[in-house]
């Protein structure tokens, strides 16, 4: 009898334990309701990486919609395949909007006029007396500016660097750096074949490697290529001598590497 009571007690304890561990039934659509806001949030965050003053951008189905204030998306639009940051396809209501977005750079005012790109520094005005660089702008646009210095500094401008043209040579500095008689020189490495000057190899190579939509940094003589938000990892892919000045490139995955190599701003 004691043996029977022991078995009954053990069974009751097991039953109570199982009841206490039961989980509430889940709705099969729960993942759908939570994943959609997360996806929208991720798309919005990604779009911020491609934001430029004077434009509203949204990432939709891996394509970048570019709108000026007051514009709205429409089924009637233009498409520039692979023209955007990271090689994204750009969609806009018209050619002018798309080209001005692609051409926009901090410190310059740009406008497309008769299929040509006017580039001005703040305070400058268009003039019949100007210089022209045929096919030098995005999508092969002809660039017009008041003088060579303005045009060359525009072509050389990249986020994260301060550039200036001095005696026909391009100085490239990181924020906080100052020009010095002690510097490195890369002949013909700048836009339009300009000689490039920087305080050190790292600054020069990071500048040459910089492309819209990617973050680049030198580490042990190799260039890391990352999408915004990514971090370096021991697990990565390598392309020997594929970077500027035959620098070895490293990226987290093959897709990032291919997008970087194939993208021509």
Q: Tokens 């430029």 belong to which residue? A: 52
Which of 213-226 are b and which e, b meaning 16 or more Cβ less than 10 Å from the residue's Cβ? bbbbebeeebbbbb
Check residue 45 and give its pLDDT.
54
How far is Cα 22 from Cα 19, in angstroms, rounded to an integer? 5
Check residue 46 and give its pLDDT.
57
Low-confidence residues of the chain, pLDDT below 50?
Answer: 1-41
Q: Tokens 């190799």 belong to which residue? A: 222
Residues 6+ apart with CB under 8 A from 176: none
Give pLDDT tens digits for 90-100. Answer: 999 999 999 99
- Model's pTM, two decimal places? 0.78
Check residue 26 and give its pLDDT.
39
Cα torsion through 47, 51, 54, 59, rounded to 10: -20
Check residue 48 and give its pLDDT.
73
- 109 three-class SS: strand
């Amino acid at each position: 009898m004691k043996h029977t009571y022991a078995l009954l007690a053990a069974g009751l304890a097991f039953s109570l334990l199982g009841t206490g561990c039961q989980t509430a039934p889940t709705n099969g659509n729960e993942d759908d309701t939570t994943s959609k806001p997360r996806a929208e949030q991720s798309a919005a965050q990604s779009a911020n990486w491609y934001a430029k003053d004077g434009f509203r951008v949204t990432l939709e189905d891996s394509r970048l919609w570019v709108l000026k204030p007051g514009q709205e998306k429409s089924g009637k639009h233009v498409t520039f395949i692979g023209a955007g940051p990271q090689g994204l396809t750009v969609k806009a209501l018209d050619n002018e909007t798309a080209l001005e977005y692609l051409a926009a750079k901090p410190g310059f005012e740009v406008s497309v006029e008769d299929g040509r790109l006017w580039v001005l520094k703040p305070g400058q005005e268009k003039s019949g007396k100007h210089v022209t660089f045929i096919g030098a702008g995005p999508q092969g646009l002809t660039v017009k500016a008041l003088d060579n210095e303005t045009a060359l500094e525009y072509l050389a401008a990249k986020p994260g660097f301060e550039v200036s043209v001095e005696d026909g040579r391009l100085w490239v500095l990181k924020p906080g750096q100052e020009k010095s008689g002690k510097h490195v020189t890369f002949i013909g490495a700048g836009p339009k074949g300009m000689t490039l000057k920087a305080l050190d190899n790292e600054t020069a190579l990071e500048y040459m490697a910089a492309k819209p939509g990617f973050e680049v940094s030198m580490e042990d003589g190799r260039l890391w290529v990352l999408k915004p938000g990514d971090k370096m990892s021991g697990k990565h892919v390598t392309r020997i001598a594929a970077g500027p000045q035959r620098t070895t490139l490293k990226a987290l995955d093959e897709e990032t590497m291919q997008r970087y190599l194939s993208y021509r701003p």
